[in-house]
Amino acid sequence: MTDHEASMRQEAIHQRNDTAPDILVVGGGPAGSTVAALLAERGYDVVILEKSRHPRFHIGESLLPLNLPLFERLGVAEQVAAIGMLKYGAEFISPDHDQASYFDFGQALDKSFPHSYEVRRSDLDEILFKNAVTKGARAREGCKVTMTEFPRAQRAIVTSLSEEGQITEWHPRFVVDASGRDTLLANQFGTKQRNRKHASAAIYAHYEGAARRTGREEGNISLFWFEHGWFWYIPLADGSVSVGAVCWPYYMKARKVPVEQFFSDTIALCPPLAERLKEATRASPVSATGNFSYASSRSSGSNYLMLGDAFAFIDPVFSSGVLLAMNSAFSGAETIDQCLRNPAAASHALRNFDRTSRHGLKIFSWIIYRMTTPVMRDMFMHPSNKFRLQETLLSVLTGDLFGDTPIRFRLAIFKFIYYLQSIAMFRESYRAWQRRKRAIREVAANLTAP
């Protein structure tokens, strides 16, 4: 876009009604910035309200290969590559197996996406946010939404509060909830449901001076299983690594020491990870989150959508967060355009959006719920390509779940073999089921406690 074109676009924006945009987007993360950019490109007046200011810290630094075509379509691929650490695959390490298992993205069913990136989310999110503004979206940072109303057959009413204390009432035609784990609308509507099938909590920090792989494998993500869950180990381009533990809640509730000591003690329970960190220095505070798997019972209404984490969040073992957020934004932009251009077809468009939003979650979740079982662990640690099962697993790890993909039939075969092996390993599977049931019971008791 030339300077003249940019000036003309900004002048047109200023001539619009400042507080009555076509679309109001709540949240300036990957989902919000993506949908804002796509709708602004189509000529809509879009406003983004972001409660923080970019750059701001966020976990979820590991991207999937199928993120890359989305970056291309947004026009930010080169910027993302400039901040990223090349990631060609994933490494899995289990205390019950002698050797690590490696998955190379280039060996998936579709060989077109052999790599991705590890990124600092503060940098990535800022790139996507600025891209939306460049394409014409109006943005207000340091501006928190405090209330939303949806009068029947009228524009929505959204109230925001700025850092300076200014209260603004907005009247958009359509509202996009991209508020992330704040889950603005799901909380307001009472539709947010904690995931009782897979309860987990996380604790994490960044380290400097940690041991890293060399050569082509330097940027690969490593996942370590241990007694109480699993660890991520994500190398970043500046030489630091992101380390986090996703644990059963009963383990987190057992903490009796400061969180920093607790994290160090937890790392010590995983000797292969402790070895990589023995010369490292923690470079950030230790942060912890409670049970964080959830979903809303609905994803949309007549004049609103929920995108990404505002709709649902699952265990991050497959680094799926940014992909699911951005994919929902692409689907959401198309849906909103249909709803505003052809209101008679809105119900059909919203049903299609809901189906798309749940599709990726369903595939990822089926495997994630079973990641700690002996059978699934063996299938990852001793991958076989009989019936092209290893390629199928790799397709899940690359994020190749949408559009014209060959994964559906192969995944059905994978599930069938998993269940057969679970029967063959009944005793081990039963003990794992008991352990998981205990974790779920702990969460249920916590949720119902006065």
Q: How far is residue 322's CA from residue 334's CA, in Å, rounded to a whole number?
A: 19
> H helices within 30-67, ranges in order?
30-41
pLDDT digits (tens, 9 = 90+) for 252-284: 888 889 999 999 999 999 999 999 999 999 999
Look up residue 12 and give its amino acid.
Answer: A
pLDDT of residue 45: 97
CATH 3.30.9.100 in the chain is located at 86-119+196-289
- Architecture of domain 86-119+196-289 in CATH? 2-Layer Sandwich (3.30)
Query: 163-214, pLDDT tens digit by residue?
Result: 999 999 999 999 999 999 999 999 999 999 887 666 778 999 999 999 999 9
What is the residue type of 135? K
Note the pTM of the prediction, 2 decimals.
0.90
CATH number for the domain running over 3-75+121-195+294-361: 3.50.50.60
Residue 226's identity, in one-letter code, is: F
Closest to 315 in 3D by CA, of 377, 364, 374: 364
At 12 the three-state DSSP class reads: helix
Please list the residue range(s) of the chain that carry CATH number 3.50.50.60. 3-75+121-195+294-361
Please identify every stretch of the chain with a pLDDT value under 50, giving residue numbers as ranges: 4-15, 443-444, 447-448, 450
Angle formed by the axes of helices 407-424 and 426-448, to 10°?
A: 100
